[in-house]
C-alpha cells in the first residue's frame, strides 16, 4: 500500500468513511469492503491505502488498513471453516435423508440451489461495492437466506469478508436463519402440516412420534 493518511471520518453503521492524505489534497472515499486489517477501523486512525477509480472516474480507496494492524485475524479463518462445515453438513444431511427415503428431493434441491444463488449474489455484491457499481439490495440477500439459502450465504460472508461487520445486518441474517430452520422443521415434523406436505408433493407421514415417508 503506497499511500498514507488519516481516517478523518468513519460511519461504522453504514461501513464507509473518508481518508485525508498525509501529503495533503482532497479526502478520498473508503468503504468497509476495502478494509484489510483486523477489528474495525476508527476515526482518527493512521492508515495505509491504495487508490483506484470508481465508474465515474473519481478517486476511491481500493485497499486500506490501520497501520500496525495488517494481516488477517485467525477468527476470520475459523469462521470460514465453521461456515463451510455447517453448509456441507446441512447439504450432506439432506442428501442422506433423501437417499434413505426420509425426506423428498425437493428440500435438498431447494437448499442446494438457493445456497449457490446466495453465494453468487454475495460475490456480485462484493465486486460491485469495490467498483462503486449497482449493489444487490440487502432485502434480496435476506430473502435468499430465508428461503433455504443461508448456508451458502454464511459461507460467502466469511470467505469474502462481506457483511460481517454490520451489526444490524447480522441480526437480520440470524433471524432469517432461525425462521428458516423453524419453518422447515414445522413443515417436516408437525402433524398440522400434513396437508401442506401432501400439497407440496412430500411423501406421506405415518405414526405419531416418528415420520416415515413412503
DSSP label of 22: T
Task: Show which of 36, 66, 96 is a domain's final residue.
Answer: 66
| Pair 9, 51 in one domain | yes
- Residue 91 C-alpha cell reads as 447439504
The residue count for the chain: 214
Q: Picking from 10-14, 37-41, 156-160, which range would have the lowest pLDDT averaged per residue?
A: 37-41
| Pair 93, 138 in one domain | yes
Q: Which of 76, 79, 46 is nearest to 64 (CA)?
A: 46
| Rounded alpha-carbon distances, angstroms, from residue 160 to 25, 26, 52, 152, 214 | 32, 30, 20, 12, 42
pLDDT above 60 (res 210) = no
Dihedral Cα 86, 88, 99, 195, nearest 10 deg: 50
For residues 135 and 98, is the Cβ–Cβ distance under 8 A? no
| Pair 112, 31 in one domain | no
| Pair 61, 117 in one domain | no
pTM, to two decimals: 0.66
For residues 22 and 5, is the Cβ–Cβ distance under 8 A? yes
| Pair 155, 52 in one domain | no
Q: Which of 117, 113, 129, 139 is nearest to 162 (CA)?
A: 129
| Pair 185, 96 in one domain | yes
Q: What are phi and psi of 54, to 5 degrees?
A: -85, -175
| Pair 19, 99 in one domain | no
The domain in which residue 79 lies consists of 74-199
CATH classification of the domain holding 34: 2.40.50.140
Tell me the pLDDT tens digit for each residue of 73-103.
Answer: 444 468 899 999 999 999 999 999 888 888 8
Q: What are phi and psi of 208, to 5 degrees?
A: -90, -35
Tell me the pLDDT tens digit for each residue of 196-209.
Answer: 888 877 776 533 33
| Pair 187, 114 in one domain | yes
**Overall domain count for the chain:** 2
Q: Specify if 30 maps to a domain.
A: yes
- Residue 157 C-alpha cell reads as 460472508
Task: Show which of 34, 49, 66 is a domain's final residue.
Answer: 66
Q: Specify if 113 maps to a domain.
A: yes
Tell me the pLDDT tens digit for each residue of 108-159.
Answer: 999 999 999 999 999 999 888 777 788 999 999 999 999 999 999 999 999 9
The H or E element spanning position 161 is none
Task: Show which of 66, 93, 111 is a domain's final residue.
Answer: 66
Amino acid at each position: 500500500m503506497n499511500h498514507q493518511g488519516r481516517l478523518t471520518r468513519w460511519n461504522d453503521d453504514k461501513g464507509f468513511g473518508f481518508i485525508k492524505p498525509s501529503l495533503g489534497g482532497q479526502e478520498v472515499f473508503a468503504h468497509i469492503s476495502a478494509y484489510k486489517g483486523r477489528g474495525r477501523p476508527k476515526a482518527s486512525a493512521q492508515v495505509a491505502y491504495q487508490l483506484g477509480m470508481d465508474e465515474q472516474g473519481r478517486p476511491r480507496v481500493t485497499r486500506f488498513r490501520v497501520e500496525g494492524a495488517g494481516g488477517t485475524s485467525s477468527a476470520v479463518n475459523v469462521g470460514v471453516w465453521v461456515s463451510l462445515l455447517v453448509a456441507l453438513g446441512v447439504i450432506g444431511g439432506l442428501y442422506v435423508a433423501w437417499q434413505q427415503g426420509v425426506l423428498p428431493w425437493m428440500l435438498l434441491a431447494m437448499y442446494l440451489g438457493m445456497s449457490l444463488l446466495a453465494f453468487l449474489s454475495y460475490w456480485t455484491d462484493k465486486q460491485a461495492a469495490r467498483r462503486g457499481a449497482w449493489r444487490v439490495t440487502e432485502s434480496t440477500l435476506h430473502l435468499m437466506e430465508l428461503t433455504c439459502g443461508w448456508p451458502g450465504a454464511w459461507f460467502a460472508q466469511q470467505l469474502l469478508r462481506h457483511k460481517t461487520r454490520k451489526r444490524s445486518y447480522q441480526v437480520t441474517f440470524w433471524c432469517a436463519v432461525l425462521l428458516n430452520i423453524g419453518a422447515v422443521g414445522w413443515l417436516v415434523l408437525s402433524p398440522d402440516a400434513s396437508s401442506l406436505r401432501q400439497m407440496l408433493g412430500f411423501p406421506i407421514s405415518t405414526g405419531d412420534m416418528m415420520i416415515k415417508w413412503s
